[in-house]
Amino acid sequence: MVDWIKGRSEAQAIAEPWTRQGGPGGAIVLFDRDGVRESASGGFSVIEHRLPFTPDTQNRLASISKHICAALLLRDGVPLEATLGSFLPELPAALGAVPLGRALDMTGALPDMMEALWQLGTPFTTSLSSSEIFAAACRLPGLNAEPGTEMAYSNTGWRLAQAILERRTGKGAAQLVDELMAPAALPIRFVSDETEVVPGLATGYWHDGQGWRRGFYGFNFSASGGMAGSAAGLARWAAGLMAGRGSHAGLLDRLAAPRQFADGSESGYRLGLVASRLGGIRIIGHGGSLTGYRNHMLMAPDMGVGVVVLTNREEDALWPALRVLAALTGEALPSDPDTVPAGLYAAEEGPSWAEFAGGAISFMGGYEKLVSDGNGGLRSLPAYLEIALRAEADGALTGAIGGVARRLLPVPADIKLDERLIGRWRDDRLGVEIAIRPDGTASWPWAGTIGLETRLTPLPGGRALADLKHGPWRHRPCLWLQPDGSLRLAGHRSRILHFNRLDQESRP
């Protein structure tokens, strides 16, 4: 039995503090197959002008955009089994060989362009056009892994999907989205970048510990995150998907259809949607994050209900969406684990590491809240990344993350930086250098010749984590020595930098 009163009350309990705090806010909209049923909102869409955030306020949808791009691909009949190179022949061979479907379901091992550019020293506030980012993609030296072996989040496949759509149709992304939304007159549009004027758009904010700051993101948005729309408009779109009305007939089933790894096992990530369960019901949805915006959309298709949470504040939106959906459907929220690990863990070798704090995990930079699996273990109720772990008697955590078997060990507190890391290193393919000093600090490429300083966190086995701040975001790539004496660098989304030593004579 769907309880709209209880669902609305939970939404109001979430939104009311946004108003009381006098800062940025958001809107929560509850819907069924027929459209919007209930809503709550609070806080300001623009703090400076004291404009209230309402269900009709335009907001950046960020990565919720992905399933809308997928809908365009399916509508146009683009074959998902075809390789990226068959559509975009100028791509490097490794990227071009990846099937489009794998590029979209995050098993294509494509380096994420934002993270790759960060690692090359490009600030996320840099104004880069779609053509400039595409040119950078055409210079990528390879993939993160073998396609089909791991689910690792990357926006690159969706950037390329937009290019494919525009070449096939001869239309820009904005026109394609307008045509998709026109039959129901939905207020959802494609926005190219931060400079494009969007009437009524909420300003994004993040808190630096002292006060609210405006968010800014210079890169071209693309189909990976370029939609703007209201919470009410997105709820109406999702209602149409669940109802399967008109041109939406069967579309949600196609978007949410299971996707497989190369070994045949099933992934929770679909075509711009993530499949999971809340209690006894199947749920499907996706989140979105841009500097100063955090959103989530969840649907329970078998019950025909859902919730949209759009905010202009840099705070988690998945758990609020789950709270409202649980109240609406009568399902229980997953319980906290009996015991939660704390501190830093790492695989015995390779770049995999995880840090546990506050009941959540950061795996190579991919963040997920952890809940009980009901059998003494831990799992994510994934915003993006599927995680299942169990503590072993020796202190290790074993299980699977992103479809890959993992064994993570606690990192000793007294470990020292491996002296073999000290020195100057250069990736000749991409033209970047880093320098690691005996005191455990390192200089990092950033903004041309300006550079960044970072303190390294040592890991066993000739490895260390950098710690780089990008506005509200934290980037902690892993450096690890190779048997041949070279140095690799890897984050969750980009693992392509490979350095050689410049100062052989000073090697310890």
CATH, residue 64: 3.40.710.10
Find, among 153, 182, 176, 253, the residue nearest to 222 by Cα: 176
* Nearby residues of 483 by Cβ (< 8 Å), 6 or more positions away: none
Residue 15 falls inside a structural domain: yes
Buried b (16+ CB within 10 A) or exposed e, 149-182: bbbbbbbbbbbbbbbbbbeeeeeebeebbeebbe
* Nearby residues of 36 by Cβ (< 8 Å), 6 or more positions away: 29, 30, 55, 232, 235, 236, 239
Q: Do 251 and 348 have their domain in common?
A: no
Helix axes 173-181, 156-169, angle to 10 degrees: 80
Q: Do 475 and 439 have their domain in common?
A: yes
Cα separation, 351 vs 354, whole angstroms: 10
Q: Do 365 and 482 have their domain in common?
A: no
Cα-Cα end-to-end distance for the chain:
68
Q: What is the DSSP letter of 157?
A: H
Give the β-pairing of 473-475 and 468-470. Answer: antiparallel
Q: Could you identify the residue written with the tokens 């503590």? A: 391
pLDDT tens track of the chain, all 508 residues? 899 999 999 999 999 999 999 999 999 999 999 999 999 999 999 999 999 999 999 999 999 999 999 999 999 999 999 999 999 999 999 999 999 999 999 999 999 999 999 999 999 899 999 999 999 999 999 999 999 999 999 999 999 999 999 999 999 999 999 999 999 999 999 999 999 999 999 999 999 999 999 999 999 999 999 999 999 999 999 999 999 987 789 999 999 999 999 999 999 999 999 999 999 999 999 999 999 999 999 999 999 999 999 999 999 999 999 999 999 999 999 999 888 899 999 999 999 999 999 999 999 989 999 999 999 999 998 888 999 999 999 999 999 999 999 999 999 999 999 999 999 999 999 999 999 999 999 999 999 899 999 999 999 999 999 999 888 989 999 999 999 999 999 999 999 999 999 976 455 4
Q: Which of 359, 391, 410 is the last residue of a domain?
A: 410
Domain that residue 215 falls in: 9-109+144-329
Q: Could you identify the residue written with the tokens 């009350």? A: 9
* pLDDT given for residue 221 in this prediction: 95
Q: Which of 410, 433, 457 is the last residue of a domain?
A: 410
Q: Do 315 and 437 have their domain in common?
A: no
The residues with which 274 forms a beta bridge, in sequence order, are 269, 285
Q: Do 195 and 309 have their domain in common?
A: yes
Domain count, the chain: 3
Residue 32 falls inside a structural domain: yes
* pLDDT given for residue 507 in this prediction: 52
Q: Could you identify the residue written with the tokens 């009949």? A: 77
Q: Do 102 and 79 have their domain in common?
A: yes
Cα separation, 199 vs 58, whole angstroms: 8
Q: Contact, 316 vs 333, CB < 8 A?
A: no
Cα separation, 427 vs 488, whole angstroms: 9
User: Distance between alpha carbon 136 and the CA centroid of its chain, in Å?
Assistant: 20
Q: Do 149 and 273 have their domain in common?
A: yes
Q: Which of 329, 364, 399 is the last residue of a domain?
A: 329
Cα separation, 108 vs 128, whole angstroms: 24
Q: Which CA distances in Å does 455 have to 438, 441, 449, 469? A: 11, 4, 19, 12
Q: Do 425 and 370 have their domain in common?
A: no
DSSP secondary structure, 268-279, as one string: SB-SS-EEEEET
DSSP reduced 3-state for 45: strand
Residue 122 falls inside a structural domain: no
Residue 2 falls inside a structural domain: no
Exposed / middle / buried, residue 469 (Cβ in 10 Å: 0-12, 13-18, 19+): exposed
Q: What is the DSSP letter of 320?
A: H
Residue 126 falls inside a structural domain: no
Predicted TM-score (pTM) of this structure: 0.96
Residue 429 falls inside a structural domain: yes
